[in-house]
Amino acid sequence: MRDCSIAANRDEPQDPAADTVFLLVVINNFDKLAAAYDQSLASVVSDVLHRRALAFCGESAGIVRLAAGRFVIVMRWASRFTNVASLADGATAAIGGEPIRFAGAAVLAAVSVRVLPPNLGRSDVFGRAASSSRIVEPAREDAAWSLQYRADMEAAVVTIDALREGCLSLAWQPICHASQPERVLYWERLLRVSIEDGPAQSAGVSILAMERLGLIRRMDHWVVNRVISELRSTPEICVGCNISARSAVLDHGWVSVIARLRQNPDVASRLIVEVTETARLPPKVMVRAFVDALRSVGCRIAVDDFGTGNGCRKALTSLRPDFVKIDATFLQRARNDQIGRTRLSQLVRSAARLGSIVVVEGVETLPDAHLAQEVGAGWLQGYLFGEPSCALPRSNCPGDNKCCEALAATDHDVVVAMEDRRRSALGSSIGFRSIWGRIVGSNVMSLTLAFLAGQLVSGQIQPVLDFPRALLAGGVGCCFA
């Protein structure tokens, strides 16, 4: 293995023509791997990632070993990458994308890559890298924690293997109007996994495991990119897709997604990013930067699984969602319990006061639908309107002349007064002719605010101007000519 620690001690003036950048690679779960398995496995993980990093960066790259779980790559000829986002995103996938197998165990490394400022002297670069600490939760070294960690890791490895083998898919499920279910607000794409040629199953358990391990962001990037590709070929619909609250932080992967959406404003205006509440949200300033970046290109935001106990009010204030989806458990409790009914009503009112369009999930029967209407929900989702299906919705067919109502939905024409909703629920029956009926909609102007600003300088690295500091989590944005 090439090691450039000796060269790193010399403060040689950097030659711009050498096109050199420094990548700080952090194994965020190094300590947890050592605690849940043993130190020898953690050491093997570190060595494997060193080799992968050198293979990605090319023959001229060098590596500087720092403290356990942290190293710096000295990379030359960085101009082959379009910008810092593509460099960091590519490095992250290449270094930490595949499982590492050793002594009967298979694990994934939670890798983050940071591009350090190119104008620092080498000793300053490595001094800064050495003082940079991993952002991790303390490892609990007890038997119960270790068993849970290993079980989560096993589920995560199976899911990542399925992704690499093309065994992940997305099912369709509509969100329908409470009293006119042929009207579709938008379609949610739900992750499904097929293992050993078996039927597609919900990936919910694996997603929760990856969320607990801090490995969920790569999967969220994949889902959103997949949906963007689908929207480009299905111009009639709006689609929502889940991401974890832990992923609601601008990183290099999201920068690439946002750049892609800026090139496709029609797609961005039909994309709803649903942030789940199954994990705690990051700090407010980071969430705001993430949401503002998505909104700047025309996306809408939804809070999914609202009310599940990870900061309901915080989710509404930080995300300022266009849609709020009440978790199915609250409808289940409200069926035969007045306290549950009161809680469901409170959640719906809380979301509606902020101007959000309210959706109640888990609607399985007609009484469920009436109950959801009575507490003020205007839109419903659940098996009553159809199980998640891999079949392409009819509204996607060319010439159908149909579109989802999320394109035209506003606070004024969708979120009506609570008493009006109650009267509507009590005075009208729900007709379930077909959820594929005619949809009334209109196009809205997509937002075209500039987000990725910068300039290209031939043969040199140039810092991006006016780039949000949170975007690169402390690194310096660069574009390469």
- pLDDT of amino acid 410: 45
- Residue 292, domain CATH: 3.20.20.450
Q: Are 22 and 104 found together in one domain?
A: yes
- Residue 457 domain-assigned? no
- Residue 448 domain-assigned? no
- pLDDT of amino acid 103: 87
* Total domains, the chain: 2
Q: CB of 379 within 8 A of CB of 357?
A: yes
Report the length, in residues, of the chain. 481
H or E element, residue 159: helix 143-164
Calculated CA dihedral for residues 337, 343, 344, 346, nearest 10 degrees: 150
- Residue 476 domain-assigned? no
Q: Are 173 and 208 found together in one domain?
A: yes
Q: How many CA atoms lie within 13 A of 247 on its CB side?
A: 29
Q: Are 167 and 67 found together in one domain?
A: no
- pLDDT of amino acid 2: 45
Q: Are 136 and 219 found together in one domain?
A: no
- pLDDT of amino acid 152: 96
For residue range 328-353, list pLDDT tens digits in order. Answer: 999 999 998 899 999 999 999 988 88
Choose one of 411, 427, 443: the last residue of a domain.
427
Q: Are 217 and 336 found together in one domain?
A: yes
- Residue 102, domain CATH: 3.30.70.270
Q: Are 73 and 221 found together in one domain?
A: no
Calculated CA dihedral for residues 255, 257, 259, 260, nearest 10 degrees: 170
Please list the alpha-helical segments (H only) found in 363-443. Answer: 366-374, 411-414, 418-427
Which 3 state secondary structure label does DSSP give 201?
strand
Q: Are 123 and 212 found together in one domain?
A: no
Q: Are 64 and 210 found together in one domain?
A: no
Q: CB of 65 within 8 A of CB of 49?
A: no
- What is the pTM assigned to this prediction? 0.77
313 by Cβ neighbours in 10 Å (0-12 / 13-18 / 19+) ranks as exposed
Q: How many CB atoms lie within 10 A of CB 204?
A: 14
Q: Are 127 and 179 found together in one domain?
A: no
Give the residues of the chain that fall short of pLDDT 50: 1-17, 396-401, 410-481
Range of the domain at 123: 5-141
Choose one of 427, 446, 470: the last residue of a domain.
427
Q: Are 58 and 136 found together in one domain?
A: yes
Q: Are 80 and 211 found together in one domain?
A: no
- pLDDT of amino acid 236: 79
Core vs surface per residue 128-150: b (16+ CB within 10 A) or e = bbeebebebeebeeeeeebeebe
Calculated CA dihedral for residues 308, 314, 317, 323, nearest 10 degrees: -10
